[in-house]
Chain A
Amino acid sequence: MISQIVSAIGIMVAGVFACALYYWLSDRLLSLALPVPEGNVRQASVNLNRRATIRPWLFLGPALILIAVYLVYPVIATFILSFYDRSGDQYVGLANYRWAFFDQQFRQSIFNNILWLAVVPAACTFFGLVIAVLTDRIWWGNIAKSIIFMPMAISFVGASVIWKFIYEFRGGNETQIGLLNAIVKAIGGDPQIWISLPFWNNFFLMLILIWIQTGFAMVILSAALRGIPEETIEAAVIDGANGWQIFWKIMVPQIWGTIAVVWTTITILVLKVFDIVLTMTNGQWNTMVLANLMFDWMFRGGGDSGRSAVIALVIMLAVTPIMIWNIRQAHRDAEGH
């Protein structure tokens, strides 16, 4: 154990050091290669100009290489692979797409993904907004916020174990040690195997993500609520609006932008949901979603790169509108400044 820790630290230091060394060394080399001689003003200014042209690319280099190799190239390669057979050697045209269109499990995954998309972002945003309004009203609101925000630090796998324990079912006359079944039994119902309950099991998995993500929605929306100009509220109070009306007609319309941000962020997260399904059901009992189906086909029977590429592209397609919206928004910001 000790030797492993020592070697781990060694690898870490070496990795980080190598990275820092690159920047320092490349900057030195550039200065040496393009010197600025004292006497020769013309040569000096030419070299200074050259340095200014090259230096940004030295700074950007590692980042651009990483992005090109790990993000840009794979997107193109995945697109091409989707037209090839399972090993990526034989061109098969649209066969993989045709397969996806008629495949039962693929349809099931699309259906489940839509279900997730319909429920999770809405639930997180709604609860986040309600909790933000409530916690802003009490003196211990910040403590409450911390606790509700905390699950965000927990891994999806850890959260799955936590909730699997809540959904635990024990047959026969054994004591129910899962909280949910104990409650059901206490109020006179029959204990259930929640995660294999047809259709509804999806919702039990979604609950985990809602538990994790509501804190995120709450934090962002709470800040947005604090940014609402005081005058608008005061005017409404003078006009005789009640709390409910003020909330829905004055506050919510002013934070639509932020609500959209929270909604889309959670939407992207939901599209990529993988860990929860893998650890809770591994896609059994009709809980399969796209990311898990893709992973499954990547390794199933030695792997089918064509089919899993098609599934990855469907996920990509779903995030594309958000991607375009982001780029336009960023562009507008850049022009505004």
Chain B
Amino acid sequence: MAATATTTTTVPPLPSNPRATSPSIGTRLRRVGLPRLLVHLSVLAIVILWLIPTLGILVTSVRDKEQITASGWWTAFSGSTQMEAVRLADPATQKEEGGRFVISGSIFEGNAAGSVSAFGVRVQDPSAFEVGKPADIGDGETLQINQDGSYIYSKGAAFDDKRPKRVYVSLATAPEFTTQNYRDVLTSAGIGQAFVNSLTVAVPATIIPILIAAFAAYALSWMHFPGRTLLIAVVVGLIVVPLQMALIPLLTLYNDIGSFFGIPSRSYAGVWLAHSAFGMPLAIYLLRNYISGLPKEIIESARVDGASDFEIFVKIVLPLSFPALASFSIFQFLWTWNDLLVAMVFLGTGKDQLVLTGALNALLGSMGGKWEILTASAFITIIVPILVFFALQRYLVRGLLAGSVKGG
């Protein structure tokens, strides 16, 4: 946000022990005596509320495909129960034991897939009977299914059915976690390719504008030339220009240039330049705020020593401006990595050009409801910015407080 430095930069630097010099809001309110437990509980509730959405896709992305649709992700750790139809062994395998004809075996046929919690013989009532006890299922037949899937099916007379008996069981499956979803999306869903594309867009689109903006900011801070004040005002005004204003003329321009030189109109270089330009006003504004605040004596004395502006910039200003450069580069990286619109318009939607956000958007259309694909893809999309965020949060906050943030 532009031109807000007055309101936000007047915040004093935080002392190492805030209580010593300026008590926190907390200390102040505590004197007034708000119930503290209530504060802890409400913050805890808010934090949980804020965390749950992300947690949902993280948990879902490592769940088994079948389980995702069978039960909510919040039950992932307790396993899921699902109803399945199985057939008992063929009547031809019946044996006569003490006057009764018996068919026995296991409904899992060797491979254990969970534990049975109930069973039934009619689809309308699939969990009519308890496990572990013989149940009278009519026609003088009894059926007992045990938790481990083994069963004893018996009758006073010989079984004369042609087909194996169909029964319904409620299967409780143990929680099952897998990395299969990630392997799937990285290879077949094109997310791996999109990840590389995203990096190819975001890294240069972060470095190039910083370099260009830093030179411009230096010129606007420490060099004298006519029209400087006007230029600064223009830059500040342009910070809020909506991207939408630029799309139509630039798309036409790109197409014209492409057809004139006989090159594809959509290229990585085109996206880098677009991202660099759209981030430029904010970058210049932010860096100028910082660079113009550097101590005058250092720069003056370097000039007296005969250093050229180029040398002063590279050797003195750049190293001293590290905090501001870091703040802006985090913004710009998050913005270019998370951008959908610029990449869609200037890079295209072909498989080779699709960035992560675009790929995810395409998957939402084509794979809607396949949550194992969507959640794993979404997590891959958000993991890089989240890591950047947690690693460099300090600089991000500092940048924000310097009166800066760019709207999407």
Residues of the B chain whose Cβ atoms lie less than 8 Å from the Cβ of A156: 338, 340, 357, 408
Given contacts A71-B246, A161-B57, A330-B233, contact A15 B360 (CB under 8 A): no
The A-B contact count (CB < 8 A) is 405
Given contacts A153-B389, A261-B8, A295-B341, contact A75 B208 (CB under 8 A): no
A-B contact pairs, 19 of them (CB 8 A): A11-B200, A27-B308, A60-B215, A144-B47, A152-B334, A154-B338, A162-B378, A164-B364, A165-B371, A175-B72, A211-B50, A246-B29, A268-B407, A272-B244, A312-B248, A315-B245, A329-B4, A333-B3, A333-B5
Q: Is the CB of A271 within 8 A of B242?
A: yes
Q: Tell me the complex Cα distance, A137–B31, Å.
A: 11
Nearest residue in B to A69 (C-beta to C-beta)? Answer: B277
Given contacts A57-B225, A151-B50, A243-B32, contact A227 B215 (CB under 8 A): no
Interface membership of B189, Cβ < 8 A: no
**A155, A241, A265: the one within 8 Å of B357 (CB):** A155
Interface membership of B263, Cβ < 8 A: no
Residues of the A chain whose Cβ atoms lie less than 8 Å from the Cβ of B268: 11
Q: At the interface with chain B, which of A94-102, A105-113, A218-226?
A: A218-226
Interface membership of A242, Cβ < 8 A: yes
Q: Tell me the complex Cα distance, A322–B241, Å.
A: 10
Residues of the A chain whose Cβ atoms lie less than 8 Å from the Cβ of B281: 67, 71
Q: How large, as a class, is the contact surface on chain A?
A: 35 or more
Interface membership of B211, Cβ < 8 A: yes
Interface membership of A41, Cβ < 8 A: no
Shortest C-beta distance, A293 to chain B (Å), equals: 10
**B193, B277, B397: the one within 8 Å of A67 (CB):** B277
Nearest residue in A to B22 (C-beta to C-beta)? Answer: A230
Q: Is the CB of B245 within 8 A of A74?
A: yes
Q: How large, as a class, is the contact surface on chain B?
A: 35 or more
Given A271-B407, A323-B237: 15 more A-B contacts, CB < 8 Å: A19-B208, A55-B219, A59-B309, A67-B280, A74-B247, A134-B46, A153-B334, A153-B385, A156-B357, A157-B357, A158-B381, A166-B56, A179-B72, A182-B72, A272-B244
Residues of the B chain whose Cβ atoms lie less than 8 Å from the Cβ of A309: 248
Given contacts A16-B207, A153-B386, A326-B236, contact A138 B39 (CB under 8 A): yes
Q: Is the CB of A315 within 8 A of B361?
A: no
Q: Tell me the complex Cα distance, A34–B258, Å.
A: 38
- A-side residues, CB < 8 A to B, are 1, 4-5, 8, 11-12, 15-16, 19-20, 23-24, 27, 31, 52-53, 55-57, 59-60, 62-64, 66-67, 69-75, 77-78, 81, 88, 131, 133-138, 141, 144, 146-166, 168, 174-179, 182, 211, 216, 219-220, 223-228, 230, 233, 237, 241-243, 246-247, 251, 257-258, 260-261, 264-265, 268-269, 271-275, 278-279, 290-291, 294-295, 298, 305, 308-309, 311-313, 315-316, 319, 322-334, 336
